């Protein structure tokens, strides 16, 4: 699987853009479900992360901010990426630390912090195995990064690491996603189609994204085939990368069971970043699990 996730220079780099937009559906390689390496964002995917900014539509920051009030103290942002959430928390004076597997995402996070004359400890690490020798009042996994832990063993390891890094009574906040739009499309997959184009205000460079997908309903796996093109200001392709991302969705019941198995106590569930129980048709769900005051 690790090899599959490596950048692949695409042989049809010279194809005209209109042809790239409607490539026939390529077989998305099945691969193993176990990730040898974390899915660390890299290359154009990392470079363009803030430019594309797909997650801001969820308006999740205010929701997390309110949840933090119930457990004041230090926060660990797991899979912090370029600091989409971490920076805002830091600006509000929250003592927050970040961890991510991607040096490229962390570098951007560092640059953004320093541009705002802020400081935060940032660790390069894997959310399945990290050991920081510190404890936190809250551990936050925003941006649906938990879906990247496709194997149950990966998720179990992550929950166990989180438990060990929480103070008694501390909270673990996990955002998760049910890919309803794909599941209810009536299709089992689709070839690459144009998804978005974004431009950097500073350099006028552009990134164009294409996406194909396939779904394994039994395995609860959504495989995304992403193509990123970096364009110059005249629209010429400078670089292109293809990456495959495997996302595993799990029902709320399964997630709760995994939390319980990891010795978490009270678990709360919220839908669509609102302080309400998730509706039956909810897509984004946040689970908040408490480490019991006394060890069970």
Q: Check binding of 286 to ligand SAM (CB under 6 A).
A: no
Report which DSSP code applies to 6.
Answer: S
Spell out, one character per residue from 80 to 119, where the chain touches ligand SAM: x when CB under 6 A holds, - when not: xx--xx--------------xxx--x--------------
Mark 147-167 as b/e (b = at least 16 C-beta within 10 Å): bbbbeeebbebbbebbbebbe
Which of 75, 127, 155, 215 lies at the binding interface for ligand SAM (CB under 6 A)? 127
Cα separation, 43 vs 124, whole angstroms: 17
Cα separation, 188 vs 186, whole angstroms: 7
- The answer to whether 39 and 5 are in contact (CB under 8 A) is yes
Going edge to edge, which strands form the sheet with 221-231?
189-199, 206-216, 221-231, 237-248
Min separation Cβ 244 and ligand SAM, Å:
14
Report H helices in the chain. 17-20, 43-47, 49-52, 61-69, 86-91, 103-115, 152-164, 180-183, 252-261
Min separation Cβ 199 and ligand SAM, Å:
20
Q: Check binding of 224 to ligand SAM (CB under 6 A).
A: no
- The answer to whether 211 and 194 are in contact (CB under 8 A) is no
Closer CB to ligand SAM, residue 20 or residue 241? 241
Q: Check binding of 247 to ligand SAM (CB under 6 A).
A: no
Closer CB to ligand SAM, residue 64 or residue 210? 64
Structure tokens, 48: 């363009």
Nearest position to ligand SAM, beta carbon = 143
Which of 5, 20, 28, 41 lies at the binding interface for ligand SAM (CB under 6 A)? 41
Q: Check binding of 173 to ligand SAM (CB under 6 A).
A: no
Spell out, one character per residue from 20 to 39, where the chain touches ligand SAM: x when CB under 6 A holds, - when not: ------------------xx
Structure tokens, 229: 């093109």
Of the candidates 151, 269, 174, 142, which has an alpha carbon nearest to the alpha carbon of residue 220? 151
Residue with tokens 């909270």: 171
Min separation Cβ 1 and ligand SAM, Å:
13
Whole-angstrom CA distances from 292 to 28, 65, 140, 168, 262 are 43, 22, 17, 6, 11
Closer CB to ligand SAM, residue 33 or residue 191? 33
Closer CB to ligand SAM, residue 37 or residue 187? 37
Min separation Cβ 287 and ligand SAM, Å:
16
Q: Check binding of 143 to ligand SAM (CB under 6 A).
A: yes
Closer CB to ligand SAM, residue 98 or residue 271? 98
Question: Residue numbers of the site for ligand SAM (CB under 6 A)?
Answer: 38-41, 55, 79-81, 84-85, 100-102, 105, 126-128, 142-143, 145, 148
């Amino acid at each position: 699987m690790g090899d599959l996730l490596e950048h692949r220079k695409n042989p049809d780099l010279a194809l005209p853009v209109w042809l790239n937009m409607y490539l026939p559906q390529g077989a998305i390689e099945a691969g193993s479900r176990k990730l040898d390496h974390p899915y660390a964002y890299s290359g154009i995917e990392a470079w363009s992360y803030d430019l594309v900014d797909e997650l801001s539509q969820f308006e999740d920051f205010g929701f997390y901010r309110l949840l933090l009030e119930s457990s004041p103290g230090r926060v660990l942002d797991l899979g912090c990426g370029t600091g989409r959430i971490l920076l805002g928390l830091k600006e509000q004076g929250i003592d927050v630390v970040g961890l991510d597997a991607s040096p490229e995402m962390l570098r951007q996070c560092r640059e953004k912090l320093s541009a705002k004359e802020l400081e935060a400890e940032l660790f390069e690490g894997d959310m399945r195995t990290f050991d920081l020798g510190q404890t936190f009042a809250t551990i936050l996994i925003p941006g649906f990064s938990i879906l990247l832990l496709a194997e149950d063993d990966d998720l179990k390891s992550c929950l166990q690491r989180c438990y060990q890094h929480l103070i008694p009574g501390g909270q673990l906040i996990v955002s998760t996603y049910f890919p309803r739009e794909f599941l209810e499309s009536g299709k089992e997959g689709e070839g690459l189609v144009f998804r978005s184009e974004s431009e950097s205000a500073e350099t006028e460079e552009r990134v164009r994204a294409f996406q194909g997908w396939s779904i394994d309903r039994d395995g609860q796996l959504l495989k995304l085939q992403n193509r990123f093109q970096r364009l110059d200001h005249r629209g010429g392709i400078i670089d292109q990368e293809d990456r495959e991302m495997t996302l595993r969705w799990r029902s709320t019941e399964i997630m709760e069971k995994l939390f319980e198995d990891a010795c978490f106590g009270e678990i709360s569930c919220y839908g669509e970043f609102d302080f309400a129980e998730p509706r039956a048709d909810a897509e984004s769900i946040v689970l908040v699990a408490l480490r019991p005051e006394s060890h069970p």
